[in-house]
Structure formats: structure tokens, C-alpha cells
Amino acid sequence: MEEFDFEAYKQMVKDHQDNDEPTSWCDSIYKDARGDYTKVFWADLESNPYLLQYLKKNITKDKKAIVIGCGVGDDAKSLSDAGYKVTAFDISPSAIDLCKKRYPHSKIDFLVADLFSYPKDWRENYDLVYECNTIQILAGKYRILAREKISSLLNKGGKAVISCRSRLLGKQENDIPKPLDKKEMNEFIHKDKLKELIFTDYYDNQEPAIWHFFAVYQK
């Protein structure tokens, strides 16, 4: 099997970021999988255990959830299995194709959309917004815009559930993906006026293990 070339990947992302094209490269990752969702290099093919734990403890019915940058759909499926009415979107048409083929009979509304210009009627419409690893592939002002857009999807009392790689303040500034630091996470509180309900950090089981944040904020 051909090895994934991380250095070429990082250079490709950097070139797009330098040209102020934050997301136009995303579809290529899914296209390269040639219809096989198991070949998408960043897909864990399972939900974050902290999300699953949260869903177990917060049983729901008839609530609306939306998944940002849903990739190949595992988290959307977990939210749907937990009882949410789920909209899951991605800017990549190839990702959404993979989701629809993977889950042909699910009730999840998988669709192509851009977080930065989502349909007007999504605003303040969701009880739960799930973001996993989208902000970290963005650079500069697009990270801030993504956070603002995520918060803007919440209805009153709605919860933003955020899962991402993490870094210490001032470190890994040029990494691709660029993990979030605690200051960026705290902007959900200080800028978007959400209340922190859960904040935790942990190391995943990759080799070497990668540091992550998992947080829940409420509007």
C-alpha cells in the first residue's frame, strides 16, 4: 500500500493558506480515497470516547444537532443513535458522497455546505453543535470566524461540544494542523458569551499520543 506523504500534505495546505484559500484543498483528501471511506487518512472511523460518554450521560429526544465538517460521518451517526435529529455538513462534496453511501438508510441529513456561509435558517437553530478537528486545519482569521459561526448556530440553552488537538500558549504556532490553545478555547466564553460546562484535556491512544481538549459550552 502506498504510504501517505505527510510532508507533501502539509506543504499543500500551507500553499493554500498562503494564497488565502482556507478550504479549497479539503475535497482532494476525500477524492483521493476513491470511494472508500476507510482510506481517508484523518478519519478515526469511530467517535471520540468523550463525545460518547457525554451522550450516554445526556440522554435526549427530539433535539436538533448539527455536525461541523462531518468528514466520513461517525460523529453524526453517534448523535443520531443517541436520539438527536442530525444535520451533518461538510464543504467537501466527496466527503458527503462517502457519508451517503456509507449510511444509505440513516435519518441524518448529510449535505454540502460552508460553515462560513451557512444557510440563514440555521442561525440559532440547534440544541447541540458538534465540532471535531475543523478549526485546527484553518489558519489566522478563519479560526476566529469558524468559532463565531459555530457559536451562532446555537439556540438559547444550546450546547457547543468541541473536540480538538491542543497546544500550549505560544507553542506549535506553525504546525499543520495547528492545535488550539486554551486562550482560543476561552474565546467561546469571553467573546461568544457561552458558559463553560465541561473542560477536559487528555492524550489519545496514537503512537506517539496526541494531546487533546474536549469541552462543552452553553449559550
Ligand X SMILES: C[S@@+](CC[C@H](N)C(=O)[O-])C[C@H]1O[C@@H](n2cnc3c(N)ncnc32)[C@H](O)[C@@H]1O
Binding residues (CB under 6 A) for ligand X: these are 23, 26, 42-43, 69-71, 89-92, 95, 114-116, 132-134, 137
Which residue, 195 or 203, is less far from ligand X as judged by CB? 203
Alpha-carbon span 34 to 31, nearest angstrom: 6
Alpha-carbon span 214 to 119, nearest angstrom: 27
Cα distances (Å, whole numbers) of residue 161 to 22, 184, 196, 201: 23, 15, 10, 14
54 alpha carbon, distance to own chain's centre? 16
Which residue, 17 or 92, is less far from ligand X as judged by CB? 92
Residue 161: closest CA among 15, 1, 54 = 54
In the complex, the smallest distance separating the C-beta of residue 92 from ligand X, rounded to whole angstroms, is: 4
In the complex, the smallest distance separating the C-beta of residue 190 from ligand X, rounded to whole angstroms, is: 23
In the complex, the smallest distance separating the C-beta of residue 185 from ligand X, rounded to whole angstroms, is: 17
In the complex, the smallest distance separating the C-beta of residue 129 from ligand X, rounded to whole angstroms, is: 12
Which residue, 47 or 217, is less far from ligand X as judged by CB? 47
Which residue, 70 or 215, is less far from ligand X as judged by CB? 70
Q: What is the secondary structure of 187-208 as a DSSP string?
A: HHHHTT-PEEEEEEEEE-SSSS
Beta bridge partners of 166: 180
Q: Which residue is nearest to ligand X (CB)?
A: 69
User: What amino acid is encoded at 185 in this protein?
Assistant: M
Which residue, 35 or 195, is less far from ligand X as judged by CB? 35
In the complex, the smallest distance separating the C-beta of residue 191 from ligand X, rounded to whole angstroms, is: 19
Triad 51, 160, 163: Cα angle to 5°: 45
